[in-house]
Structure 1
């Protein structure tokens, strides 16, 4: 919805309004009288939250040249990882003190403050060209992106990588909550500090891509994710944490470059193209548990590692395919 709409009316207003609504809904969640109303508000919040990421990379694709776009998206994804860490730590700490309502209030207040800063600092678009919104045209743009092998490859790559990365955190908590580690809930929450590896990975991704090419670095990120998964098989808690940190570095490097790849190679309607990337991205997260659960039942974490490697081999093959496309494009 937000991607095609932004192609017609502009990016800035959608980003500002949806971010403000997300913060307001988080505050409202603290006062939800029933579980049903809480679910409804969360549904609305999930909808409006899609407005910023669906449009932000398209906005950068409009405003930055191809070289600067790599670094800009890397910094944006790095900030996302910091937001994920902050939300879990602040929300978890507030929940420990005042329960779920306090967590919603704390995260909502953070979001509103961030929205005010964002509202003041976001510059007006200089390169955006609006196109008249027509449903048939919007559907045609979406289908056109899906017919593009270069974009479709990036969509599947981002979705499958996130399928593995985010659901590994779900299953590693089962492992670390059990003997011999027996980490408490507070300790398990701190595992998400390993996202800092992703902050670094996404931040340096643009510089690395400028030196070695985006597709090479996407493939390298997947290999690093496979290596980190191997390290988590160790019995040492320190090595498990190291493996998760390496995983985050590799995943976020590949993710930031795949995101910028979409903005770089979309032939018009960048908002729609970026929105489709997010559809595949979050669809992967939602079905990852179904993929990894049989492997967990089979041999627990060792099975999860095997299930992860199987799909990462697929995304590595996609990354190599993008690398070949990149080489052909450079020679023409």
Structure 2
């Protein structure tokens, strides 16, 4: 790689890191203030969680259309336009006083950010693929964890003295800075050849992404893993601020520092998958997530935080490998659609899991919710194991050996 290409790759990585920070800060801005919102609007935990689930539902529904559209109009244009619209809606949200209207606004905002979430992996695979794809994708996912952590942490702390409106506005302003950097830094794609806006080739790519049985394992990990993850973080504030713990909202927000574990493990998992194979690292991440949930059963703040760190690290390790697997496995003509399908599973799981998890917590408490989430993660692990066997071991071969094959197939 020459100096020009090396500089371009660094710009891409930095741009997508700050873009991911903005995206995830906006997407989950209400999450740390759900207890305050529930109190203000007299809502149950499950109903308050609709503010998070609405945005992820919008993203899930819009991911495939926008991922497909990016094949025709260009990946950069799709990502930039999407993030700008989402930012404008994020700045409006704190000034809305009707809960149903807030839910509707969040639904549209989620649909807007789908253009970045669904296309980023395909853009990375096109522009910085090859042997470094696992590492590059790991760094991108690490950026999503930074966005998730900083947005939740900032919103939770500010809300303790400025209310939920101040917390959500603070996150929107942080995202605005990152959005500007993203627009300025992200280069126009070089390696993606736009297709004519014709249904036949675009739907052909979607069919190709659906017909590959190996891709169903990462789709399943996305749905079950993200459903479990959002359920935990949606109700965490309710558990920490209620008896017997009675933690203040500002201190409860510090629990979101557990996202730092995801920042580390997502980057490490990408490298580990390049070396030891995707299925092996995926299963390890899912096992760690289950262990973290079991540790969190104790009514002890230290153990809850420790379990949260392990759970978060395990989830993001699995997500990093699963998302990179999709980008490497799919053919060039189906890469955008395969990435969009992954995002559909990821955020569809978030929407359903967030509501079901909050409902389970309200009905059966933290222990009942934990049983449900462990079952979801077990289903994901079985899916990976079956795919591993179905592929005759190819999936567990070192990813470095596979990447040139994927590039040649492209």
Fold match (TM-score > 0.5): yes
How much has 1:199 moved relative to structure 2?
1.0
Partner of residue 270, structure 1:
335
Aligned with residue 372 of structure 2, among 281, 292, 307: 307
1:120 is aligned to 2:184:
yes
How much has 1:47 moved relative to structure 2?
1.4
Partner of residue 50, structure 2:
none
Partner of residue 26, structure 1:
90
**Conservation of the 8 A alpha-carbon contact between 2:79 and 2:115:** yes
Q: SS state of the match for residue 50, structure 1?
A: helix
How much has 1:115 moved relative to structure 2?
1.7
**Conservation of the 8 A alpha-carbon contact between 1:159 and 1:285:** yes
Q: SS state of the match for residue 189, structure 2?
A: coil
* 1:148-169 CA distance string (max 9 Å, x none): 2111221112111111122022
Partner of residue 260, structure 1:
324
Alpha-carbon distance between aligned partners in 1 of 2:381 and 2:290, rounded to the nearest angstrom:
10
**Conservation of the 8 A alpha-carbon contact between 2:292 and 2:311:** yes
Alpha-carbon distance between aligned partners in 2 of 1:92 and 1:328, rounded to the nearest angstrom:
45
> Bigger shift: 246-255 or 19-28?
19-28
Change (3 A) 1:323 1:8: same
Unaligned runs of 5+ in 2: 1-64, 403-410
**Conservation of the 8 A alpha-carbon contact between 1:94 and 1:106:** yes
How much has 1:45 moved relative to structure 2?
1.6
Partner of residue 242, structure 1:
306
Q: SS state of the match for residue 124, structure 1?
A: coil
Alpha-carbon distance between aligned partners in 2 of 1:118 and 1:94, rounded to the nearest angstrom:
25
> Bigger shift: 108-117 or 212-221?
108-117
Alpha-carbon distance between aligned partners in 1 of 2:307 and 2:163, rounded to the nearest angstrom:
32
Partner of residue 83, structure 1:
147
User: Aligned ranges for residues 87-236 of structure 1 at < 5 Å?
Assistant: 87-236=151-300
Change (3 A) 1:304 1:95: closer
User: Aligned ranges for residues 36-55 of structure 1 at < 5 Å?
Assistant: 38-55=102-119
Alpha-carbon distance between aligned partners in 1 of 2:109 and 2:272, rounded to the nearest angstrom:
35
1:284 is aligned to 2:349:
yes
How much has 1:296 moved relative to structure 2?
4.3
How much has 1:236 moved relative to structure 2?
2.4
Partner of residue 6, structure 1:
70
TM-score (norm 1): 0.90
Unaligned runs of 5+ in 1: none
Q: SS state of the match for residue 300, structure 1?
A: helix
* 1:68-92 CA distance string (max 9 Å, x none): 1111111111111111111122233
> Bigger shift: 92-101 or 189-198?
92-101
Alpha-carbon distance between aligned partners in 2 of 1:61 and 1:314, rounded to the nearest angstrom:
28
What is the root-mean-square deviation in Å for CA atoms of aligned residues?
2.5
**Conservation of the 8 A alpha-carbon contact between 1:4 and 1:133:** no
How much has 1:258 moved relative to structure 2?
0.5
Q: SS state of the match for residue 313, structure 2?
A: helix
**Conservation of the 8 A alpha-carbon contact between 1:216 and 1:319:** no
Alpha-carbon distance between aligned partners in 2 of 1:277 and 1:65, rounded to the nearest angstrom:
18
Change (3 A) 1:215 1:66: farther
Change (3 A) 1:127 1:326: farther
How much has 1:326 moved relative to structure 2?
6.8
* 1:8-36 CA distance string (max 9 Å, x none): 12111111121122212222334447556
Alpha-carbon distance between aligned partners in 2 of 1:170 and 1:34, rounded to the nearest angstrom:
21
Partner of residue 394, structure 2:
328
Partner of residue 3, structure 2:
none
**Conservation of the 8 A alpha-carbon contact between 2:208 and 2:334:** no
> Bigger shift: 144-153 or 79-88?
144-153
Q: SS state of the match for residue 234, structure 1?
A: coil
> Bigger shift: 68-77 or 111-120?
111-120
